[in-house]
């Protein structure tokens, strides 16, 4: 049976087929548009692509949005599994006492990081939120941080002060106009958090971890993090690992 994996975020959904050997096929991204997620999924995933297939879903979206996705999947897939955070799986042991309080996207990112080799990683997701998680070379999760992403910072500023645009501007260390100052401040806040996390991780572990960047906003920060590895499909990679482990969601 063909398998598909679905990463349901707050602003978009990503999906990819999973080959029998564990490799991910080409991913598609579907924004949560005004017309509803069902019509967007119909356009992105033709009926033939999902025939006689099973779906594995990870969602950090609202209950209503998750339900809409699952309802659509039920019309197209023979079975549906929901990925959930586990206290330990595939060589990863999480720091949270209550696994349900660690977002499944963060957990799956850790699984995917662990699959890249026995080394320490700082896993940074840049979506609606900015998430930071530290994984040591033994697969032990040391916890992390959550902050607004640059996009969310801009949106919050625009909502509080309409004269501040939610988009536009170019990063500069000391900007000379408002759009550039906004871009520089919000991107700079994210970069500062990442750089501090890297420094603190190095002190804790005695070795500087590798940096894995994923999420829709990762590409924008990449130029100022030259040592980072860009991994846009990291959560889907983690879902593929989950599927291979045969966990019953």
pLDDT digits (tens, 9 = 90+) for 196-229: 999 999 999 999 999 999 999 999 999 999 999 9
**The pLDDT value given to residue 31:** 84
Q: What is the mean pLDDT of residues 234-242?
A: 95
Catalytic residue positions, numbered: 105
Q: CA 215 to CA 125: how far, in whole Å?
A: 5
Q: Can you state the angle between helices 104-115 and 234-245, rounded to 10 degrees?
A: 80
3 three-state secondary structure: strand
Q: What is the mean pLDDT of residues 22-45?
A: 81
Confidence class for position 47, pLDDT limits 50, 70, 90: confident
Q: CA 166 to CA 210: how far, in whole Å?
A: 32
Stated pTM of the model: 0.92
**The pLDDT value given to residue 34:** 60
pLDDT at 249 over 60: no
**The pLDDT value given to residue 96:** 97
E-only strand ranges, 103-193: 121-126, 129-135, 141-148
pLDDT at 244 over 90: no
**The pLDDT value given to residue 33:** 64
Burial group, residue 238, by CB count within 10 angstroms (0-12, 13-18, 19+): buried
DSSP 109-125: HHHHHHHT-SS-EEEEE
DSSP 185-197: HHHHHHHHHHHHH
Q: CA 153 to CA 176: how far, in whole Å?
A: 20
For the segment 87-143, what is each residue's pLDDT rounded down to a tens digit?
Answer: 999 999 999 999 999 999 999 999 999 999 889 999 999 999 999 999 999 999 999
Q: Which domains does the chain have, with CATH numbers?
A: 2-82 (3.30.420.40), 88-238 (3.30.420.40)
pLDDT at 80 over 60: yes
Q: What is the mean pLDDT of residues 173-178?
A: 94
pLDDT at 71 over 60: yes
Q: Give how far the C-alpha of residue 128 lies from the chain's centroid of Cα atoms, to the nearest Å.
A: 9
Q: What is the mean pLDDT of residues 11-24?
A: 88
pLDDT at 36 over 80: no
50 φ, ψ to 5°? -115, 10
């Amino acid at each position: 049976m063909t398998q598909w994996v679905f990463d349901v975020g707050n602003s978009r959904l990503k999906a990819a087929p999973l080959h029998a050997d564990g490799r991910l096929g080409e991913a598609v991204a579907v924004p949560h548009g005004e017309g509803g997620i069902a019509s967007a999924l119909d356009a992105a995933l033709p009926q033939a692509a999902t025939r006689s297939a099973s779906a594995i879903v990870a969602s950090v979206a609202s209950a209503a949005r998750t339900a809409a996705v699952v309802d659509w999947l039920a019309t197209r897939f023979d079975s549906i599994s929901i990925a959930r955070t586990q206290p330990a799986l595939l060589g990863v042991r999480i720091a949270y006492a209550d696994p349900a309080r660690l977002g499944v996207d963060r957990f799956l990112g850790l699984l995917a990081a662990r699959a890249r080799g026995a080394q320490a990683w700082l896993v940074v997701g840049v979506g609606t939120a900015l998430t930071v998680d530290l994984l040591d070379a033994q697969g032990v999760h040391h916890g992390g941080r959550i902050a607004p992403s640059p996009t969310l910072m801009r949106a919050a500023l625009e909502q509080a002060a309409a004269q501040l645009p939610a988009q536009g501007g170019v990063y500069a260390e000391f900007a000379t106009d408002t759009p550039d100052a906004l871009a520089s401040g919000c991107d700079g806040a994210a970069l500062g958090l990442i750089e501090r996390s890297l420094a603190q991780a190095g002190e804790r572990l005695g070795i500087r971890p590798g940096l894995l960047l994923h999420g829709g906003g990762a590409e924008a920060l990449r130029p100022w993090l030259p040592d980072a590895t860009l991994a846009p499909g990291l959560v889907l990679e983690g879902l593929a690992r989950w599927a291979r482990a045969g966990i019953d969601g």
